[in-house]
């Protein structure tokens, strides 16, 4: 079985050489080249055709994000695994969008790094636990912000009950029977709901409910 051919791209020569020495001790890994900047990385990918590039982000001439984008576009068979000190979500998201198959922090252990390399070469994605935790936290935060900014939270409990029945295409009289209130009261509540949610028709009600995941249906 052929060893996995690695190219290490990092502008810190001591770190780059240390990683190369560390990985060369693995029988199934072969470090075929080292690059100190993004431009050199592109040149070496072109001539060495590695299986995977271990890429830093902050490099001169061409940063890791742009280098990753260009490598994945021109050489889609070459995988890119990011090894960075940056844990900010803006870097993680940009690199994943650029085509990186994995993202790890530089404080990772040798065992984790080797595991990530093997996983990525096999076509899998790999995120270190710290990166995964960061993405989950950011997702929850963004979701909460979207939910908090929604007008739905402005409805009272009674209005939410009526809104649910509205999504079932119930008439005022039917809603009144279910909730034991008069059709006129239902009508007043309905008017307030439509105003608060800025809705103008029953179709708008259904679209809003679908977008908020309040009902489960495939088509209007």
pLDDT of 146-188, one tens digit each?
Answer: 555 567 778 898 998 999 999 999 999 999 999 999 999 999 9
- Strands 4-9 and 79-84 turn out to be unpaired
- CA 89 – CA 82 distance, rounded (Å): 13
- Within 13 Å of residue 50, how many CA atoms lie on the same side as its CB? 27
Give pairs for 169-174: CB < 8 Å, separation 24+: 169/202
What the block records as the tokens of 49 is: 């055709």
Lowest mean pLDDT among 63-67, 77-81, 127-131, 187-191: 127-131
| pLDDT value, residue 220 | 44
Does the domain at 150-211 match CATH 2.30.30.30? Answer given as: no
Domains of the chain by residue range: 4-140, 150-211
The secondary element (H helix, E strand) that includes residue 181 is: none
pTM of the model: 0.65
Query: Of 30-39, 65-74, 111-120, 151-160, where does mean pLDDT reach its minimum?
Result: 151-160
pLDDT at 91: 83
Does domain 4-140 fall into CATH 3.40.50.2300?
yes
Question: Three-class SS of residue 81?
Answer: strand
The tens digit of pLDDT for each residue in 75-124 reads 999 999 999 988 877 788 889 899 999 999 998 899 999 999 999 999 99
User: 3-state DSSP call for residue 9?
Assistant: strand
Which of 30, 74, 85 lies closest to 52 in space, CA to CA?
Answer: 30
């Amino acid at each position: 079985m052929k060893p996995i051919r690695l190219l290490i791209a990092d502008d810190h020569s001591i770190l780059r050489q240390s990683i190369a020495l560390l990985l060369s001790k693995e029988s199934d890994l072969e470090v075929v080249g080292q690059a100190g900047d993004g431009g050199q990385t592109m040149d070496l990918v072109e001539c060495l055709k590695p299986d995977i590039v271990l890429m830093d982000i902050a490099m001169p001439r061409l940063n890791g994000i742009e280098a990753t984008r260009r490598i994945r576009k021109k050489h889609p068979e070459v995988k890119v695994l990011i090894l960075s000190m940056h844990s900010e979500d803006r870097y993680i998201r940009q690199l994943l969008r650029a085509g990186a198959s994995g993202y790890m922090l530089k404080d990772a252990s040798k065992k984790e790094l080797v595991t990530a390399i093997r996983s990525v070469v096999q076509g899998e994605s790999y995120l270190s636990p710290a990166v995964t935790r960061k993405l989950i936290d950011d997702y929850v935060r963004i979701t909460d912000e979207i939910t908090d900014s929604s007008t739905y939270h402005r409805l009272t409990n009674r209005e939410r009950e009526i809104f649910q029945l509205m999504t079932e295409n119930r008439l005022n009289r039917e809603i009144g029977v279910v909730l034991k209130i008069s059709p006129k009261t239902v009508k007043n509540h309905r008017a307030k709901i439509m105003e608060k949610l800025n809705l103008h028709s029953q179709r708008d009600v259904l679209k809003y409910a679908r977008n908020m995941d309040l009902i489960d249906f495939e088509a209007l």
